[in-house]
Structure 1
Amino acid sequence: MRSSDVERFYSHVLKGPHADSCWLWLGAISDDGYGRFWINTVGGQRAVAAHRFSLATVHGGLAAIEGLTALHWCDVPLCVHATLDPSTHLLLGTRSDNMADRAMKGRMPSATAARWRRLSRTERSARSRQVREELKSHGWDEDLVRELVHGIDPDHPTLF
């Protein structure tokens, strides 16, 4: 992993004010609402999910996390808070670990699934872009982040 890529990556990250805050991605966003980061490889450019690149920076590179899944402790698609200490929001696991986490949090598809399920892929992507643009314009504002990421009332869908 090149240090120039890591430096460029973190230039697109807005870290919250507290040790347990999300670190939100302000770069490119894919059609699934997750961040995307481009790296140069021998074969040309390659897009990497921003949260996976962040995990790779603390676990020894992209090859070291190949075949593993990123689990979002915070369930915020734009969060890239990966560390080796307890404040991390991203953990490495298997696909089974990710499915178990999903079930435990009540995010399994069903007629009574949590409110975020009402958002289509397109709507989730649009909300991620809205969060990014608001953060770029206003910086980290605790009330704004809470409103945009976690919803403003019980009937308002969360970002994820």
Structure 2
Amino acid sequence: MRASDVERFYSHVLKGPKPGSCWLWLGAISDDGYGRFWIGTAGGQRAVAAHRFALATVHGGLGAIEGLTALHWCDVPLCVRASREPTTHLLLGTAEENMADRARKRRMPSPNAVKWRRLSRAERSARSRGLRDALKTHGWDEDLVRELVHGIDPDHPTLF
């Protein structure tokens, strides 16, 4: 993993202002709603999922994470906050651990998860692109991020 790739990668990341905030990808977005980052290879170029590249920077390169899955603690497709600190939003795991995490968070269809609604790839991509474009235009605006990530209207009255 080249230092220039890592530097170029983080030039496309907007870090939220709070200690536990997401670090959101502002670069290319794939049709699945996740960030994409291009790296040079011996045979040309290849696209890597941005969150996987972030994990690779922490765990010793892309080869070190091959065969493992990225678990998103925050469930935000554009989040690339990977670190060895407790504030990381990305964890390495197996496919089985990812499915268990998905079930624990009630993100899978079941008779008991009535409120669950799976976004299509197109919907997830549109939401990610909307968030990225808003961040590029307005910077980190907590109300805007909350609305676009969680669907919470900033003008909606709060309980407190």
After TM superposition, what 4+ stretches of structure 1 lie above 6 angstroms from structure 2?
A: none
Match of 2:151 in 1: 151
CA displacement at 1:123 relative to structure 2: 1.1
CA displacement at 1:90 relative to structure 2: 0.2
User: 1:68, 1:95 within 8 Å by CA — same for their partners in 2?
Assistant: yes
Match of 1:103 in 2: 103
Are 1:121 and 2:100 matched, yes or no?
no
User: 1:13, 1:26 within 8 Å by CA — same for their partners in 2?
Assistant: yes
CA displacement at 1:44 relative to structure 2: 1.1
Alignment of 1:1-12 (within 5 A): 1-12=1-12
**Over alpha carbons, which structure has the higher Rg?**
2
Root mean square deviation of aligned Cα: 1.2
Are 1:32 and 2:39 matched, yes or no?
no
Alignment of 1:72-111 (within 5 A): 72-110=72-110
Match of 2:158 in 1: none
Distance 1:113 1:40, change over 3 A: farther
Q: Which amino acid aligns with 1:120?
A: S
Match of 1:134 in 2: 134
2:81 is paired with a residue whose SS is coil
Unaligned stretches of 5+ residues in structure 2 = 154-160
User: 2:106, 2:116 within 8 Å by CA — same for their partners in 1?
Assistant: no
* Aligned mates of 2:21, 2:115 — CA distance in 1: 23
Unaligned stretches of 5+ residues in structure 1 = 154-160
TM-score by length of structure 1 reads: 0.91
| Aligned residues with identical type, % of pairs | 80
Q: What count of residue pairs does the alignment treat as equivalent? A: 152
Q: Which amino acid aligns with 1:46?
A: R
